[in-house]
Amino acid sequence: MADDEQSGFSEAEKAAMKERAAEVRAPKKRMTKAEKAAAARAAVEEKIASYEGTDKVLAEALHRIITTTAPELEPKTWYGMPAYALDGNILCFIQDAAKFGARYLTLGFNDAAKLDDGTLWATSFAITALDDGLEEKLAKLVAKSVGR
């Protein structure tokens, strides 16, 4: 029986859990709030820089859209993915296609996002390319997610 079948987790899922554990265990040296924020932002930017091809181009654009539209969001890594927190809670995240062998990059939102629309609404969006129109839609989506 394969290891994946015994544990129920794929190798990619196990790697994501290890990344999250490392994030939680990261040294908590004495840093000011501004220093912690700068270190977290740098970790997100390093993660995005490590992507290849379309994932890198899309993630760079999403990072710019998110941080410009909602500067109150705090960039940080979450399960090894670029993520953006509001009041300490992860609001949205960027999952590159390579992360779990998907055919597209995903912009996902957690339940802290204010995207409610009646009794049904999307919480993740597959993105394969960006143009000015889609960038504008994404900026509006990010603004809505923070309550604007």
Provide the token pair at 14: 């196990």
CA distance 96 to 82: 9
Number of neighbours of residue 30 by Cβ within 10 angstroms: 5
List C-alpha distances in Å: 75 to 35, 103, 118: 13, 25, 29
**pLDDT digits over 27-60, tens only?**
666 778 888 899 999 999 999 999 999 999 999 9
Q: Which of 21, 73, 75, 28 is nearest to 47 (CA)?
A: 75
3-state secondary structure of 1: coil
Average pLDDT over residues 80-85: 96
Work out the pLDDT band at 26, boundaries 50, 70, 90. Answer: low
Indicate which CATH number applies to the domain containing 109.
3.90.1150.200
Q: Domain tally for the chain? A: 1
Q: Which range of residues forms the domain containing residue 88? A: 3-145
What's this model's pTM, rounded to 2 decimal places? 0.81
